[in-house]
Structure 1
Amino acid sequence: MLLALALLPLAASAAVTPAPGKDCHLPGTEEALRCLRVDVPLNYKQAGATLSLHVAVAPALRESARRDPLFLLAGGPGEAGSDLVPLLNASFRKVRATRDIVLIDQRGTGLSGKLDCPSDEPNEETISEEKALADARDCIKSLNKPYADYTTEAAARDIDLVRKKLGYAQINLWGGSYGSRLAQTYARLFPEHVRAMVLDGVAAPDQIVPAGGRDAQAALDKLFQQCSENQPCARAFPALRSEFASIVAALNKAPLMLELPDPRTAEMRQVRMTSNRFLGTVHNILYSQADSRRLPFLIHSAYQNRWQPFIARSNVARDFAADAGPAMPLHLAVVCAEDYPRLTPALLAEDTRDSFLGKPQIERIGALCETMHVPAVPWTTPSKIEAPVLLMSGALDPVTPPRRAEAAKQYMTHAQHLIVSNGGHIVSQLGCGPRLLREFLDLPDKPVAAECLKEIPAPTFQLNSAGPQP
């Protein structure tokens, strides 16, 4: 049965009717896409209010496109499908030759009624964490939204209404990070409509999102080890571990007030470096294998009290556009209902033991969950997914390493797992990845020949202000 479904799209196909909607232009691409609005119930258990979802379709490049598109499911939770538009010409350029690519702004993100808390603080870098927490609570209350309706299951049901609206009988799914959880949820709710799935940076069904201390520390330890085994890096930063520990110990005692040039105005201003900001930036850097190779230099510079490079990297995550970035309240709506209720004191203690991500960083989410007032979503043992699945992991991923994909694989009948040794979080775009996506989707029951992934090199370390080594 599965083989028949896999071979069906290979038959000759007629020209495809253009997707409904109208031409639109989204940031990240110069070409016109097809955009439409799809109304969905706010609450699937009761009639009444609706939400308007923004959907964009990147039509297949060939006229004789196959009738099983690829739906892209963004991560976070809190990212929008439209945030993935820049990947159309990178990760998905091979797939798009013969398939439509569909991007949905998940309810509460992007152009689908984004739940947002933009800061009105002119000097975010100087406010205390207590003030930042109070501001977030005030925003959550002021939005006055039924956060209990913004669950992963509701988003999965939205996907099926979009599928119907676009007239597809079966679809393929690509889910990155949290998007992999959403994809798995959809596959279990609507198995008859799933042809195949690619899950990159796989969130296991039993994974508790805030509990990331163990995986983060493992990624940092691997980075330190790689630096020590790399002669130029080891020579430039011989005391990297102790320097990192010294910075953490100092910031745990008290925040550090720095006076640095403002990146926008060049005027001197104070910057408040706290333990949470420092460790949060380190964690963020570890997501990218290329970016992580800058971390030894950034740590060493900060240890020598030259904080400018570290502050500059910390500010990368702060986009100057007010509506940019993930939807924080949507993130909380999901995590506070589906993850945090399962975070027991014993699990928290085990996860943070000997990790640079300690209890304070994780418990901050709990402080905001008290304001969200969302009921816990009970966790149940997942049913088996019968559709073919390609799991992809980066060995250096600090949040969804290969062990998470292996845990998810236990609940899949036809799954194969590819690991990129020199990859971090999300690896579809690396090396031969785009070609492998196309090959898998064309023949999802056939093993993927992934030897080429071993050819993806490790980026060079940055040793000084001049940038990475040649």
Structure 2
Amino acid sequence: MVWMRRLLFVAVLSCGLGVPGSVVGQDEPVSSTCYLDGWGDSLLCYRISVGADANAIELSVTVAPAVNDAGREPLYLLAGGPGQAASDLAPLLNAFRRINRERDIVMVDRRGAGLSAAFRCGFEREMPADLQSFSRQLAQCYLRRPQFAEALSSRQAVEDLERVRKTLGHHRIALWGGSWGTRTALLYQQWYPEALSALVLDAVAPIDTKVFLTATAAERAMQRLERDCARDAICAGFGDWRSELDQLLANWSGERAAQFPDPVTGVRGAQPVPRWVLANSIRTALYDPAAAAQLPYAVHQASRGNYLPLSGISGLFLNTTDSMAMGLTFSVACAEELNRITADEVAADSTGSFLGSAFFDLFYSGCQAWPVSAKPYSAPEERAHPVLLISGEADPITPPDYAERQLVYLSNKQHLIVPGGGHINSGRGCIPDLIARFLNAPQDSLDQGCVAEIRRPPFMVDAFGPALGKGVGVERQGGQR
């Protein structure tokens, strides 16, 4: 069930300027002209050798060169997952055009991801419907490359990033991290503070935070969706759709699970859809405000036996995680996250949430088949680099509380909270301009007034989408719903 595999692995889980980002006295490495999907301009591509013996590979490094060489530090983009490729962040360059005018933007595919020897396990072809089959397939993948699996880690990613910085001749760099990329950025800040000028962290996963305990965050995101729906005249017409969702999940089995349609064909799938898959697909929809705006209508329809709208929402994410390398995902998640989470913590996190333990169960099951050693972090030390934090108010995995309460060791930070925002908000509204202003003058306080103007997309009113005019939704509140 290819669509099941794809929707489950959405990304998890992104000092003054001083010295310009120029060379440090070594020859320029050889590059070639290349292109990436989502960005129309030409790029510079490098291949940089790292590792030794069986773990030796060439890192893929892609650079969007500055339009005007103003001597500013380059901005490195760090992808999430863990397991996503930085080269798949190329569409973000469109939002960062202002930044790119005077700065190189660098994308490094970390070892085991994207164009840097992606460690895939075959789940892009088919995702088993039961966790036991999933674990067996994952175990077979591990046995094909056990040394490579053990070597992959955040420490390795940071060391490789430092190797790239030196090879490209950058004296200091700025980092943008998204989701798990924020964890990588924070670790780089700990280990190479002298090489860093500023940080932009979008959807923050602090070093000490157990972000794979996501049920409580997902529940709070759902509650914010409920609140905003109740304040909307159109959406409020769906009544108590949240209770309908709870009943749907509580009674999800047998014929209901078998009737759930494939989001591409619209016909009944060959296998029943398990509850843990359905719950995760609903959680995934909360990542994107446009998808979340469709949930009340889709749940209301599903409670009446029409599962097509809910299936269609899961189909929105079919192509978002093709770059996720599952070998890398589990090497990092099992060694750095799952091993430090207790059963009591899972129970406490799951209680009262629509998600329950559905997200954690997938990774717990996988880590039983992926026996990498634990790789704990040291307690973070105080740092004074300028840091811009960006959070979505309704992020279902890295809520604003993480940035507000769990980064006390960062003494020079500003925080943007996007109303109704989901997971990753760097491309929304005025946020790209604020990021550009921050990077150019990181010691200055930003005027955040424009952030409050960012709104959720309009709620879906029926199969045709949102209401297009005043009163349209009211007219359709009868039989159409």
Does the alignment reach a TM-score above 0.5?
yes
- Look up the match of 2:70: 65
Match of 1:88 among 93, 97, 115: 93
**Is the Cα–Cα contact under 8 Å of residues 177 and 203 in structure 1 kept in the other structure?**
yes
**Is the Cα–Cα contact under 8 Å of residues 85 and 323 in structure 2 kept in the other structure?**
no
- Look up the match of 1:366: 364
Instruction: Map Cα deviations across residues 19-78 of structure 1 (whole Å, 9 max, x no partner).
Output: 741101122222210001111226xxxx8842211000000112x232410000011111
**Is it true that 1:113 corresponds to 2:117 in the alignment?**
yes
Q: Quick one: structure 1 residues 268 and 299, their matched pair in 2 at CA, closer, same or farther if it must change by over 3 Å?
A: closer
SS across alignment from 2:423: coil
Aligned equivalents of 1:272 and 1:283: distance in 2?
A: 19
SS across alignment from 2:258: strand
Aligned equivalents of 2:183 and 2:44: distance in 1?
A: 26
- Look up the match of 1:76: 81
Q: Quick one: structure 1 residues 250 and 49, their matched pair in 2 at CA, closer, same or farther if it must change by over 3 Å?
A: closer
Aligned equivalents of 2:185 and 2:262: distance in 1?
A: 44
| Counterpart residue type for residue 306 of structure 2 | R
Aligned equivalents of 1:348 and 1:32: distance in 2?
A: 47
TM-score when scaled to structure 2? 0.88
User: 339-348 or 158-167: which moved more?
Assistant: 339-348
In the TM superposition, 1:169-180 aligns within 5 A as 169-180=171-182
Which stretches in structure 1 are left out of the alignment for 5+ residues? none
User: 307-316 or 326-335: which moved more?
Assistant: 307-316
Aligned equivalents of 1:261 and 1:347: distance in 2?
A: 34
TM-fit CA distance, 1:345: 1.8
TM-fit CA distance, 1:417: 1.1
- What number of residue pairs does the alignment pair up? 451
| Counterpart residue type for residue 134 of structure 2 | A
Which stretches in structure 2 are left out of the alignment for 5+ residues? 1-14, 469-481
SS across alignment from 1:270: coil
TM-fit CA distance, 1:8: 5.1
| Counterpart residue type for residue 205 of structure 2 | A
In the TM superposition, 1:306-317 aligns within 5 A as 306-317=306-317
Q: Quick one: structure 1 residues 336 and 128, their matched pair in 2 at CA, closer, same or farther if it must change by over 3 Å?
A: closer
- Look up the match of 1:398: 396
TM-score when scaled to structure 1? 0.90
| Counterpart residue type for residue 317 of structure 2 | A
Match of 1:6 among 14, 17, 22: 17
- Look up the match of 2:244: 243
**Is the Cα–Cα contact under 8 Å of residues 141 and 371 in structure 1 kept in the other structure?**
no
**Is the Cα–Cα contact under 8 Å of residues 77 and 106 in structure 2 kept in the other structure?**
yes
Match of 1:452 among 444, 450, 469: 450
**Is the Cα–Cα contact under 8 Å of residues 124 and 322 in structure 2 kept in the other structure?**
no
| Counterpart residue type for residue 191 of structure 2 | L
Percent of paired sites with the same residue: 34
**Is the Cα–Cα contact under 8 Å of residues 188 and 383 in structure 1 kept in the other structure?**
yes
SS across alignment from 2:425: coil
Aligned equivalents of 2:35 and 2:288: distance in 1?
A: 28
TM-fit CA distance, 1:372: 1.3
User: 204-213 or 180-189: which moved more?
Assistant: 204-213
Match of 1:228 among 222, 227, 230: 230
In the TM superposition, 1:323-362 aligns within 5 A as 324-362=322-360
TM-fit CA distance, 1:242: 1.7
- Look up the match of 1:212: 214
Aligned equivalents of 1:326 and 1:430: distance in 2?
A: 23
**Is the Cα–Cα contact under 8 Å of residues 80 and 105 in structure 1 kept in the other structure?**
yes
- Look up the match of 1:293: 293
SS across alignment from 1:216: helix
Aligned equivalents of 2:212 and 2:64: distance in 1?
A: 34
SS across alignment from 2:379: coil
RMSD: 2.5
